[in-house]
Amino acid sequence: MPDSLILITIGGLLLVGLAMDELGGRTRLPRVTLLVLFGIAAGPSGFDLLPAAVQDWYPLVATMALVMVAFLLGGKLTYKVLAEDGVHIFGVSTGAVAVTAVLVGGGLWLIGVDPVLCLVMAGISTATAPAATQDVVQRSNAKGPFSRTLLGVVAIDDGWGLIVFSLLLAWGHALLGQNPAGVLEMAGKELGGALLVGLIVGLPAAFLTGRLKPGEPSQAEALGVVFLCGGLALALGASFLLAAMIAGIVVANFARHHNRAFHEIEHIEWPFMVLFFVLAGASLEVSALPAIGMVGAVYIVLRAVGRIAGGWLGATATGMPSGHRFWIGVALMPQAGVAMGMAMVAANSFPQYSSEILGVAVGTTILFELIGPFCTQLALSKADGLTES
Model pLDDT for residues 82-93, shown as the tens digit of each residue: 888 889 999 999
pLDDT tens by residue, 186-196: 778 878 898 99
Confidence of residue 385 (pLDDT cuts 50, 70, 90): low
Is the CB of residue 315 less than 8 Å from the CB of residue 357? no
Q: Degrees (nearest 5) of the Cα angle 169, 349, 347?
A: 100
CA distances from 286 to 270, 360, 363, 366 (A): 26, 12, 7, 7
pLDDT tens by residue, 131-190: 788 888 888 777 788 988 898 888 888 778 878 888 888 888 888 877 777 777 777 887
Q: Where does 58-384 sit in CATH, by number?
A: 1.20.1530.20
At residue 387, the pLDDT reads 44
With 0.95 as the threshold, say if the pTM is over it: no
Provide CB contacts within 8 A for 375, sequence distance 6+.
330, 331, 333, 334
In the chain, what are the domain boundaries?
58-384
pLDDT tens by residue, 284-322: 777 766 767 788 889 999 999 999 999 999 999 999 988
Provide CB contacts within 8 A for 132, sequence distance 6+.
30, 32, 277, 334, 336, 369, 372, 373, 376
Between 306 and 254, the higher pLDDT residue: 306
Kindly compute the dihedral angle of the four CA atoms of residues 131, 132, 134, 137, in this order, to the nearest 10 degrees. Answer: 170
